[in-house]
């Protein structure tokens, strides 16, 4: 019997599952595919964009978090997040106050993005040791406006917003504070890292929709589990292309760098929600970068879409090598190596 690791299914195994799906419904414009963030369904003169994602780790912000990770995947398709449903599964002995806290966080996050909560389910569940919240986000787009991961084109610039690794760094700071303190990292640094969820923040809705309104975007993708390296692999796989990455141009946020250096973590493989990868014609890159700066979003050109036969490469001052790939997120490796189950979230 082959046992699976915590985290995403291996791409090959997931592909075998998806290959079993035969979609005959003509209203389904985009179904489940490797690298794509959401499904697209034609509804009259509009397109309905649908996404579901869970948050499975024990966090004080699970309700707030589940709204944003689902909204991100709608926005990366060029659609406006509109409606949200949540299934909240609470462990036995949960209190009224704990249930209300998650509920209020969902409402607050929805309000911040002008999303309407339209339904869901909440229950106390046997044999759980932490809350699990599964979100379903629905968005809306005009026909012809959908952006797909597979849309990346030869010669595109690859732009990364904010930096890495926002989500993974925040989770490490929140869930492993004692371990971080034990190796000499100071409390103020850990507090700044924990605040990454809010600043620079894990939402990419603003930059995604801004980019679509300003320039010709060929593809967008938010790197989640497996970090930036896995996100770039998913783009390359979906677009049947190669990517040449300029390693020196990747902004590794300072608290992330400090924590990763202490523990030998590769930030390229660390949970990276909060950053957005955009590919677009190089003639429009300058306009995009200026526009993002105007709304307070820093962005860098980190690479180029190249022919598939050139593969995924990263160039640094040490030379050019294959872009590292990760069978599981560096966050999961960290918690395994330090005597704890990884509280990782799973994003498909």
Last residue of a domain, one of 142, 164, 184: 142
Residues 330 and 275 both lie in one domain = yes
Say if residues 219 and 91 touch (Cβ distance below 8 Å).
no
Residues 232 and 86 both lie in one domain = no
Strand partners, 123: 89
In a domain, 6, yes or no: no
Last residue of a domain, one of 122, 142, 162: 142
Domain interval for residue 176: 149-337
Residues 16 and 133 both lie in one domain = yes
Say if residues 275 and 167 touch (Cβ distance below 8 Å).
no
Q: pLDDT tens digits, residue range 125-172? A: 998 888 999 999 999 999 889 999 999 999 999 999 999 999 999 999
Say if residues 228 and 250 touch (Cβ distance below 8 Å).
yes
Residues 190 and 132 both lie in one domain = no
For the residues 111-129, what does the mean pLDDT come to?
94
Q: pLDDT tens digits, residue range 73-114? A: 999 999 999 999 999 999 999 999 999 999 999 999 999 999
In a domain, 200, yes or no: yes
Say if residues 299 and 136 touch (Cβ distance below 8 Å).
no
Residues 124 and 156 both lie in one domain = no
Q: How far is CA 227 from CA 12, 120, 275, 323, in A?
A: 18, 30, 10, 12
CATH number at residue 34: 3.30.1330.10
Q: How many CA atoms lie within 13 A of 246 on its CB side?
A: 13
Cα 163 to chain centroid distance, Å, stands at: 12
CATH number at residue 193: 3.90.650.10
- Rounded-to-10 torsion of CA 106, 170, 193, 329: -160
In a domain, 16, yes or no: yes
Residues 127 and 162 both lie in one domain = no
Q: How confident is the model at residue 343 (pLDDT cuts 50, 70, 90)?
A: very low
Residues 194 and 134 both lie in one domain = no
- Rounded-to-10 torsion of CA 119, 120, 124, 125: 170
Residue 128's pLDDT is: 87
Whether the bond between 165 and the residue before it is cis, its omega within 30 degrees of 0, is yes
Residues 44 and 169 both lie in one domain = no
Signed CA dihedral, 267, 271, 272, 278: sign only: positive
In a domain, 21, yes or no: yes
Percent residues over pLDDT 90 in the chain: 78
Q: pLDDT tens digits, residue range 42-66? A: 998 899 999 999 988 767 889 999 9
The bridge status of strand 277-280 relative to strand 39-43 is unpaired
Residues 95 and 174 both lie in one domain = no
Tokens of 159: 């732009």
Last residue of a domain, one of 142, 158, 187: 142
In a domain, 304, yes or no: yes
Q: pLDDT tens digits, residue range 271-318? A: 999 999 999 999 999 999 999 999 999 999 999 999 999 999 999 999
Say if residues 7 and 344 touch (Cβ distance below 8 Å).
yes
Residues 6+ apart with CB under 8 A from 153: 218, 239, 241, 279, 281, 305
CA distance 311 to 242: 4
In a domain, 282, yes or no: yes
In a domain, 345, yes or no: no
Whole-angstrom Cα Rg for the chain: 20
Number of domains in the chain: 2
In a domain, 2, yes or no: no
């Amino acid at each position: 019997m082959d046992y699976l690791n915590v985290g995403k299914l291996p791409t090959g195994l997931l592909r075998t599952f998806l290959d079993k799906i035969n979609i005959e419904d003509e209203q389904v414009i985009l179904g489940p595919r490797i690298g794509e963030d959401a499904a697209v369904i034609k509804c009259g003169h509009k397109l309905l964009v649908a996404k579901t994602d869970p948050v499975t780790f024990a966090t004080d912000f699970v309700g707030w978090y589940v709204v944003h990770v689902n909204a991100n995947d709608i926005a990366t398709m060029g659609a406006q997040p509109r409606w949200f449903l949540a299934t909240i599964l609470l462990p036995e002995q949960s209190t009224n106050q704990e249930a209300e806290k998650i509920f209020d966080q969902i409402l607050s996050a929805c309000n911040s993005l002008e999303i309407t909560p339209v339904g869901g389910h909440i229950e106390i569940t046997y044999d759980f040791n932490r809350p699990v919240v599964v979100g379903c986000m629905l968005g809306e787009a005009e026909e012809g406006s959908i952006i797909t991961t597979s849309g990346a084109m030869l010669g595109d610039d690859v732009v990364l917003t904010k930096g890495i690794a926002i989500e993974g760094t925040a989770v490490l700071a929140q869930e492993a504070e004692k371990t971080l303190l034990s190796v000499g990292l100071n409390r103020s640094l850990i507090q700044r890292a924990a605040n990454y969820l809010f600043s620079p923040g894990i939402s990419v809705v603003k930059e995604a929709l801004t980019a679509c309104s300003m320039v010709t975007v060929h593809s967008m993708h938010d790197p989640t589990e497996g970090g930036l390296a896995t996100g770039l692999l998913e783009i390359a796989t979906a677009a049947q292309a190669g990517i040449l990455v300029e390693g020196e141009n990747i902004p590794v946020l300072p608290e992330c760098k400090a924590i990763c250096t202490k523990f030998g973590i590769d930030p390229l493989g660390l949970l990276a929600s909060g950053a957005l990868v955009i590919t677009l014609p190089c003639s429009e890159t300058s306009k995009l970068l200026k526009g993002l700066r105007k709304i307070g979003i820093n962005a860098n050109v980190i690479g180029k879409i190249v022919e598939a036969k050139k593969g995924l490469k990263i160039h640094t001052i040490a030379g050019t090598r294959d872009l590292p790939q990760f069978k599981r997120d560096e966050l999961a490796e960290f918690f395994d190596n330090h005597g704890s189950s990884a509280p990782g979230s799973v994003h498909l």
